[in-house]
Amino acid sequence: MPRPHKPASLFRYFNSSPEVIRLVVLMYVRFPLSLRNVEDLLFERGIDICHEAVRHWWNRFGPMFAGTSAASG
């Protein structure tokens, strides 16, 4: 008997947790910060990411997060 197929996570190829990715994208969108400002703020809180990761995650997940938040509120 085959096992039920789980839907593939959108975050499966990223080393960071989905919570961190969501936080980074929301910080970049919500506040008038540059990519490097987001990088610096997170570094102060113990999250070491590159500003290019912020850009990549925004390009990849920004439209998806915007679509889900617009539909829910």
Which range marks the domain in which residue 35 is found? 18-68
Q: How many domains does the chain have?
A: 1
Q: pLDDT per residue over 19-72, tens digit each?
A: 888 899 999 988 999 999 999 999 999 999 999 999 999 998 888 877 765 555
Compute CA distances 15 → 5, 11, 48, 69, whole Å. Answer: 23, 8, 12, 24
Q: How is residue 60 written in tokens?
A: 């990849």
Judge whether 49 lies within some domain.
yes
Q: Does residue 27 lie in a domain region?
A: yes
47 within 8 A of 37, measured Cβ to Cβ: no
Q: Give me the pLDDT at residue 1, please.
A: 65
For 16, half-sphere exposure in the C-beta direction (CA atoms, 13 angstrom radius) is: 17
16: nearest Cα among 40, 37, 46: 46
0.75 exceeded by pTM: no
